[in-house]
Structure 1
Amino acid sequence: MPDKNKYSIDLPIVVALVLLTDLFILIPELAATPIRTVLGLPMVLLLPGYALIAALFPAKDDLDGIERLALSIGLSIAVVPLMGLGLNYTPWGIRLIPILASLSVFTLLMCLIAVYRRAHLPSEKAFSVSFDDVYKALKSPFSTQPESRLDRILTIILVISVLASVVTLVYVVVTPKQGEKFTEFYILGMNGKADNYPTQFTLGDTGQVIVGVVNHEYEPVKYTIDLRLNNNSLSIPSDVKSFSLEHNTTWEKTVIFTPNSVGNNMKLEFLLYKNDNLTVPYRDLHLWVNVTGGMNATL
């Protein structure tokens, strides 16, 4: 008698979806289509958990269909962040390709284990899903002989709710949303890090820092930068003084300045203005600097 388990379609479908998702992410022409998102959702939210459940519970009597589906979603939500946490401590980091590779290898490996474990069970005890099972499952909520009219109504409502949730989730993912509008403004030392700032000067010396601006305003913005030492403006080049940025673009330049007064713990301010509003700074940063002069300098 042929082994009924070999005709199970659930694991081949999982493998096919994993490989198809890989193609739609790795091939640039396919990655530009909305199908990538449609395939990516089950790749993250369903397939890893389903493959793990199939490997852990190969027998038909271990779990019923609803329990398998619910646990598949729950375990997927648990497994994927753990993979991301693990990748964070590897040289590859949390990037698209390492995450895709990890999810694919994990899911395919669990499918192989599930196939192996099911094959070592009697065919009548191994869990399997056939086309007939899928057809009956889809048809049963709408059958003409439900247990009661109330059960039929509740089942139909449940099916519609699940479909509406899936459609809503897909819409939310594929539709770009405008997030919070803001501008990043930062200063770095010449080593490219947030330390080793120039703070000790002799009058006439120059200092250098890296100033960066990132536009997250969802529109082009004209920025103006002003450097002030104890509320006195310092001279800076015109290409640093004023510039425009498109949304989601970064501006970063080395700014050279020369303190024009002597004192201790003086406030060196980096002021950023947005568009033509030069009255109130949009963002501001500062350093505390010391400037020494000659014998007659006032400290």
Structure 2
Amino acid sequence: MRRATATENAHGPARGFLREFGDLGAVLAYALTGGFLVLSGVVEGPMRVLVAGPLLFFLPGYAVVAALFPAEPPDGGGDGTVLSAAVLRRPGVEWVERVALSLAVSVVVLVLLALALSLAGSSFATAPLVTVVVALTAVAALAAGGLRARLAPGDRATAPVDRWHDEARAATVDAGSGVDAALNVALAVAVVAAVAALAVGLAAPQSGEAYTEAALLTESDGKLVAGDYPTDLTAGEPASFTLVVENHEGAATDYTTVVVLQRVQTDGESVSVLEQQELGRESLSLGDGERAQQAVSVTPDLLGEDLRLRVLVYAGDPPAEPTGASATEHLTLWVDVSPADGA
């Protein structure tokens, strides 16, 4: 059991409160601040990864473990005798175990939250995931504080900051030789670098995973299906489709959709555009992981058979001459367009 030291008594109850609840306050403050920075887009790129790493892979588990084990671990009462029944009823874990459990529990929490989001029909994207992680961390930290406050001051789990400070000083400033101090510092730097690299590898999106998904659908029996497309069109008469776009670019994206009708000539494997008519363009803004439907109405004037109707989806602004090669995604439908009088 940890007892209050003379130094603590000298500095009054304020320092004692910080020692016993400061870790939970820091967890709560970081979760709220880090969540705001990530969700608001204030931090981007590597800084976003550095902020999100602890938020996703340590703090949720730490708060949950703190709620499960609000007390110091049993120590036999400090006299080396057999543990008493009172001590055995006060379970706790050492701080090395607490940190290890925090990492493991955080991973489990992320998996369970992802499953819950999937079952709830929400997209597994940055905004909903970070929101529920921050909410869970805050609730667990507050619960841990309440459970810890119910214990006697000497029984509460308290970060041994003074012991860590003494051990760090003994390993560096008070080391037996300069070589020992340098090796200890190098080891500490290597551990921090390894943890940072692991956080980057887990939290940073891989460049190959950024993509946009698009589909052209039509209505059949009250449902949207990828089939039964109208291929016989009439000049001057509108034909309707539904464009579905899903953003997996890793960030909020402004899309532009351009619909063109092309008369083409095929020569073996190559296709040459002889004539092109732009039928319309629309804008669409999606957050990361969001999916939206957009009505597409085309009114062709270009006449002919085997004309190529293309829906070009651009992440950003399209070029002056939109083509399938320059589009982020393109959808193609072959149609025949006849005159309005049927001639």
Scaled by the length of structure 2, the TM-score of the pair is 0.54
| CA separation of 1:174 and 1:46: change in aligned 2, threshold 3 A | closer
Q: For structure 1, which segment, 116-125 or 53-62, has the greater mean C-alpha deviation from structure 2 after superposition?
A: 116-125
User: Could you tell me how far apart the structure 2 residues matched to 1:37 and 1:286 are?
Assistant: 38
Structure 2 gaps of 5+ residues are: 9-15, 74-91, 250-257, 267-272, 287-291, 313-318, 338-343
Q: Secondary structure at the match of 2:147?
A: helix
| CA separation of 1:254 and 1:17: change in aligned 2, threshold 3 A | same
User: Could you tell me how far apart the structure 2 residues matched to 1:101 and 1:40 are?
Assistant: 12
- Which of the numbers 15, 21, 26 marks the counterpart of 2:34? 21
**Residue 237 (1) aligns with residue 277 (2):** yes
| CA separation of 1:122 and 1:39: change in aligned 2, threshold 3 A | same
**Residue 189 (1) aligns with residue 211 (2):** no
- Which of the numbers 39, 64, 75 marks the counterpart of 1:52? 64
Deviation at 1:53, TM superposition (A): 1.1
Given that 2:67 and 2:147 are in contact with CA atoms closer than 8 Å, whether structure 1 keeps it comes out as: yes
**Residue 84 (1) aligns with residue 114 (2):** yes
User: Could you tell me how far apart the structure 2 residues matched to 1:169 and 1:206 are?
Assistant: 58
User: Could you tell me how far apart the structure 1 residues matched to 2:161 and 2:143 are?
Assistant: 23
| CA separation of 1:18 and 1:209: change in aligned 2, threshold 3 A | same
Residue deviations 1:129-148, cap 9 Å, x none? 154244235434436457xx
Residue 137 of structure 2: aligned partner: 107
User: Could you tell me how far apart the structure 2 residues matched to 1:181 and 1:92 are?
Assistant: 19
User: Could you tell me how far apart the structure 1 residues matched to 2:211 and 2:130 are?
Assistant: 31
Measured on the aligned residues, the alpha-carbon RMSD in Å equals: 5.8
Given that 2:67 and 2:140 are in contact with CA atoms closer than 8 Å, whether structure 1 keeps it comes out as: yes
Residue deviations 1:98-156, cap 9 Å, x none? 4344223322222233233334445444321154244235434436457xx88x78754
Deviation at 1:39, TM superposition (A): 3.1
Identity of aligned residues (%): 23
User: Could you tell me how far apart the structure 1 residues matched to 2:56 and 2:232 are?
Assistant: 55
Residue 85 of structure 2: aligned partner: none
After superposition, residues 7-18 of structure 1 pair within 5 angstroms as: 7-8=19-20, 9-18=22-31
Structure 1 gaps of 5+ residues are: 217-222, 262-266, 292-299
Q: Secondary structure at the match of 2:99?
A: helix
User: Could you tell me how far apart the structure 2 residues matched to 1:11 and 1:55 are?
Assistant: 10
Residue deviations 1:2-48, cap 9 Å, x none? 6987432321211221232244346x5xx424566543321111111
User: Could you tell me how far apart the structure 1 residues matched to 2:236 and 2:4 are?
Assistant: 89
Residue 83 of structure 2: aligned partner: none
Figure out how many residues of one structure are paired with residues of the other and give that number.
279
- One-letter amino acid of the counterpart of residue 47, structure 1: L
Deviation at 1:76, TM superposition (A): 0.9
